[in-house]
């Protein structure tokens, strides 16, 4: 479960991007966060994840599974985020990038990584360097890297924005199917109405 209480974010001019913002997402629910460009959607996701920009002022409580996490660093929040311009490790091939995200106790999951790549029609890239990937291939590998880690809470910033229409439809279907099966609490930022998983579960900023 993810809960945000009285979240306020101000920029360097003391203008509120986010003001007295509250929401609760129960376990396994998938919500979409929408709003015009520049209102602080991505900034809010980063704050939930534990990433603060020095030019902004933040306040409010973030609870993960009913525990306050404001004081915890990013790697201890049980929250994973896919950034809009997420990066793969350039010195690793595709398979190494996927397995790097998996805890040591799960290293046996190489077969799962291969299965994910196959579902994304990317199995032929398993041992390719990431700098040889197209934009669409790169985006789908970033999604697979998060999915294989099976996060408790997932934040996603414009996950399908760099894909052509055909690839976007296939990737969206794959992504929603997998996070639904994982029962992962998910918040997706998007300006595209087609990317809304459930129109009854939309948060407007």
Q: pLDDT tens digits, residue range 15-67?
A: 999 999 999 999 999 999 998 888 899 999 999 999 998 999 999 999 999 99
What length is written for the chain? 205
pLDDT of res. 168: 85
Residue in the block written with tokens 């609760």: 24
What's the whole-number average pLDDT of the chain? 88
CATH superfamily of 2-204: P-loop containing nucleotide triphosphate hydrolases (3.40.50.300)
- The pLDDT confidence band at residue 104, using thresholds 50, 70 and 90, is low
Between the CA of residue 88 and those of 81, 83, 136, 145, what are the distances in Å? 13, 11, 13, 9
Residue 178 has pLDDT above 60, yes or no: yes
pLDDT of residue 106: 59
CA distances from 155 to 21, 33, 71, 107, 185 (A): 17, 10, 19, 24, 9
The pLDDT confidence band at residue 105, using thresholds 50, 70 and 90, is low
* pTM of this structure: 0.83
Check pLDDT > 80 for residue 113: yes
85-96: per-residue pLDDT in tens?
Answer: 667 888 889 999
Q: Note the pLDDT tens digit of each residue in 117-164.
A: 988 888 999 999 988 988 778 878 888 888 887 788 999 998 887 788
Residue 15: per-residue pLDDT: 93
């Amino acid at each position: 479960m993810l809960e945000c209480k009285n979240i306020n974010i101000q920029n360097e001019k003391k203008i509120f991007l986010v003001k007295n913002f509250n929401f609760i997402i129960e376990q396994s629910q998938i919500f979409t966060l929408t709003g015009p460009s520049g209102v602080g959607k991505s900034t809010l996701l980063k704050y939930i994840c534990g990433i603060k920009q020095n030019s902004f002022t933040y306040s409010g409580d973030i609870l993960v599974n009913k525990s306050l996490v404001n004081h915890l660093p990013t790697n201890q929040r049980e929250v994973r985020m896919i950034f809009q311009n997420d990066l793969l490790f350039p010195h690793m091939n595709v398979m190494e990038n996927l397995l790097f995200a998996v805890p040591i106790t799960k290293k046996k999951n190489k077969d799962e990584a291969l299965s994910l790549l196959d579902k994304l029609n990317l199995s032929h890239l398993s041992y390719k360097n990431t700098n040889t990937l197209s934009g669409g291939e790169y985006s789908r590998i970033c999604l697979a890297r998060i999915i294989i880690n099976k996060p408790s809470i997932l934040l996603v910033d414009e996950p399908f924005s760099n894909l052509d229409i055909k690839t976007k439809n296939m990737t969206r279907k794959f992504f929603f199917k997998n996070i639904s099966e994982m029962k992962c609490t998910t918040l997706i930022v998007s300006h595209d109405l087609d990317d809304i998983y459930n129109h009854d579960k939309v948060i407007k900023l």
